[in-house]
Amino acid sequence: MKTLLIPVLFLGTTLGLRAEDGHQLWLRARATAPVTVVLPARNSALLTTARQELQLGWQGAAGATVTLSLKNDKAIRYDGFRLSARGVQASTERGLLYGVFELLRRQQTGQPVSAEPSNPSYELRLLNHWDNPDGSVERGYAGKSIFWRKDSALVVTPRDKALWQQYARANASVGINGAVLNNVNASPVILSAEYLGRVKAIADALRPYGVKTYLSVKFSSPVLLGGLKTADPLAPAVVKWWQGKAREIYQQVPDFGGFLVKASSEGQPGPQDYGRTHADGANMLADAVRPYGGLVMWRAFVYSPSDKDRAKQAYNEFVPLDGEFRDNVIIQVKNGPVDFQPREPFSPLFGALKKTAVMPELQITQEYLGHAIDLAYLAPMWEECLQSDTYQAGPGSTVARCTNGSVYRQAHSAMAGVSNVGLDRNWTGHDFAQANWYAFGRLAWNSVAQSAQIAEEWLKLTFQNAAGGAPPPADWNTQFLTPVAQLMLASREAIVDYSMPLGLHHIMSATHDHYGPGPWWAPPRMRADWTPPYYHQAAANGVGFDRTKTGSDAVSQYQEPLASQLNDPATCPDQYLLWFHHLPWTFQMKSGRTLWDELALHYDRGVQQVRQFQRTWDQAQPYVDAERFAAVQNKLRTQSGNAVMWKDACLLYFQQFSHLPIPAAVEPPMHTLEALITYDTPPRPPRPARQP
């Protein structure tokens, strides 16, 4: 039985054929002991998966018997489970599968089995793929889409199916139970009959691993695909069109999860085009999927060109609608009020919507954190957001508790992560970016999990048995695990330091797709709120965006005592200082230094840190396979150079306004501002000479 099952998974395709290309993620093939699995007596693909996994990964006593039992238990909620010496107990089949993965993870990382129930913090733990039907991936840095491709788009090959299955398996191993298969900038064709055929094939591949399928939809689909004259959510013909579409989808995919919608945002159509509200739009779609148990995730990432503060817009549009949404609608809110910057305060919508389910949206793909070039372990950033206290229902109303049902009653709870997966052999472009996929799942399962523990777990699973299952050398923990975990934990703060410290944000270049510095970037006639000078406001009198009560007053969207704390530069944490304040270059910081000196020291510290990462990684060489060692080493080298560019660009650019010297303790710039600007804004190629 075992040998029959193996070829469909990782072993047959990778082991022995390719060395260490990272394709196996944290699910590495290992030598296993025989195990007998006792399943509930029912026919189920999920249970078959659970048995397969035990047989593929069992590291316990040879010949042991593991029993998977389905039982209702008040202490277990959603797809939670309980482990025991006998096996796994859960109230759903998914719960059994997650319990099996947990059991194996404990064996593989040397942790004891505990009998405490393990319950997910969020009911729904979803990846959002910004994948387009032509195979491209918006903000994707790991190759083309694993779901869609341009050529022979709709032919499903055995290779497609195997890959989708591997993808679903990786998700299941960390408790991710849903995937939105296409970009929120949605193409209407995704809802055409031919595309729905492929959606069905994908759903069939994901289902045995407990991963539900969802789609992003374009609000104007009734016009663009259905030929109607309007997409007005209150028009009967539109309502009917969506009802018909929902029926068609559920015929193909009976357990379809629902729709994700980006509406009235960045040029996408939406209910406001027809004088209707977000609630009108979301509720109409929610009613269409309700008969089948479907959900609508409606994004709050809305802003329109305006001279006012972009950071305030989502709150202003959504808070007045609190309580008007159906209970199968969840408002999906990015962690920060602007846009996935290296550091933002939490979005003030968390906790402020009290009668509406709200879900956090995190970005796993590194749009503003160095693409797949820079090493950025993002769990500390997500932990920072999830543990932020909103004070909306008294102290302790953290973002996590305001969204997972602990503070407010809500019919559904969910968390989404914008995926970093593509066709690259190692799935995520950077070998360490796999850790972010992993960490997202672990945090969605347990919103108080610690990033340090997740990093250690991931490192053990991913690197410990590098030599095909051989035990690691005795000093592996001290020489590899500890220093590399430290590197991971410091990596996000290093990026903040060398790119946007002290609350600076959105000062990247748009020329290079949001990679690299661009504090100057402001082409003529460009929307102001798409340009860095709008955000940093650098001038002779200082730097930073004034969001205080006397500025844009964004600060008042936060609950007290936070609003007052943020409003006063003396009490505003340094890390958010220039987010909320416009301050003179000579402003005295808590450290006693001037703002200018402090800024310069942060930029320099970021650069020095990346150099330290290079050293740490070089020393780890004896403990890593050659292929992954070299790949990471190369990327760190590029990152190191780019960190210097960030530091030089920002310090030299801001110096034009501060007119202050770069402190002696800071490494002097190695680039000129002119060279950096020229690199960022290449001159247009000369027009071809006219034929005489």
Active-site amino acid positions: 266, 339, 367
- Is 377 one of the binding residues for ligand GCW (CB under 6 A)? no
In the bound state with ligand GCW, the residue whose beta carbon lies nearer, of 267 and 685, is 267
Question: Site map for ligand GCW, 282-321, x if CB under 6 A?
Answer: -------------------x--------------------
In the bound state with ligand GCW, the residue whose beta carbon lies nearer, of 93 and 367, is 367
In the range 332-351, which residues lie near ligand GCW by CB under 6 A? 339-340
In the range 263-282, which residues lie near ligand GCW by CB under 6 A? 266
- Is 136 one of the binding residues for ligand GCW (CB under 6 A)? no
114: its two tokens: 């505990």
- Is 130 one of the binding residues for ligand GCW (CB under 6 A)? yes
Indicate the DSSP class of residue 176.
Answer: -
Q: Read out DSSP for 469-481?
A: TPPPPTTHIIIII
Measure the CA–CA gap between 481 and 484, rounded to whole angstroms: 5
- Is 211 one of the binding residues for ligand GCW (CB under 6 A)? no
Q: Where are the beta strands (DSSP E) in 254-387?
A: 258-261, 295-299, 329-334, 357-363
In the bound state with ligand GCW, the residue whose beta carbon lies nearer, of 299 and 628, is 299
Count of Cβ atoms closer than 10 Å to residue 638 Cβ:
12
Among 184, 199, 620, 649, binds ligand GCW (CB under 6 A): 184
In the bound state with ligand GCW, the residue whose beta carbon lies nearer, of 79 and 367, is 367
What's the min distance (Å) between Cβ of 174 and ligand GCW?
23
- Is 58 one of the binding residues for ligand GCW (CB under 6 A)? no
Dihedral class, residue 583 (left if φ above 0, else alpha if ψ from -120 to 50, else beta): beta
In the range 561-590, which residues lie near ligand GCW by CB under 6 A? none
What's the min distance (Å) between Cβ of 424 and ligand GCW?
19
Q: Which residue is nearest to ligand GCW (CB)?
A: 339
In the bound state with ligand GCW, the residue whose beta carbon lies nearer, of 344 and 367, is 367
Measure the CA–CA gap between 332 and 413, rounded to whole angstroms: 11
Among 44, 67, 136, 185, binds ligand GCW (CB under 6 A): 185
Please report where in the chains the tokens 């001038």 appear, as a residue.
539
Among 134, 138, 273, 574, binds ligand GCW (CB under 6 A): 138
Helix (H, G, I), strand (E, B) or coil at 89: strand
Q: 384 Cβ partners below 8 Å, 6+ apart? A: none
Q: 649 Cβ partners below 8 Å, 6+ apart? A: 516, 517, 518, 519, 671, 673, 676
Q: Could you give the count of Cα atoms lying within 13 Å of 255 in the half-sphere of its Cβ?
A: 14
Q: How many chain residues interact with ligand GCW (CB under 6 A)?
A: 11
In the bound state with ligand GCW, the residue whose beta carbon lies nearer, of 314 and 485, is 314
Q: Where would I find the H helices in 319-466?
A: 379-386, 399-403, 434-445, 451-463
Among 28, 262, 343, 505, binds ligand GCW (CB under 6 A): 262
- Is 378 one of the binding residues for ligand GCW (CB under 6 A)? no
Among 28, 94, 129, 139, binds ligand GCW (CB under 6 A): 139
- Is 164 one of the binding residues for ligand GCW (CB under 6 A)? no
Please report where in the chains the tokens 């990782």 appear, as a residue.
10
Residue 575 identity (one-letter amino acid): Q
Measure the CA–CA gap between 505 and 397, rounded to whole angstroms: 26
What's the min distance (Å) between Cβ of 339 and ligand GCW?
4
Choose among 16, 28, 60: nearest CA to 463.
28
Enumerate binding residues for ligand GCW (CB under 6 A).
Answer: 130, 138-139, 184-185, 262, 266, 301, 339-340, 367
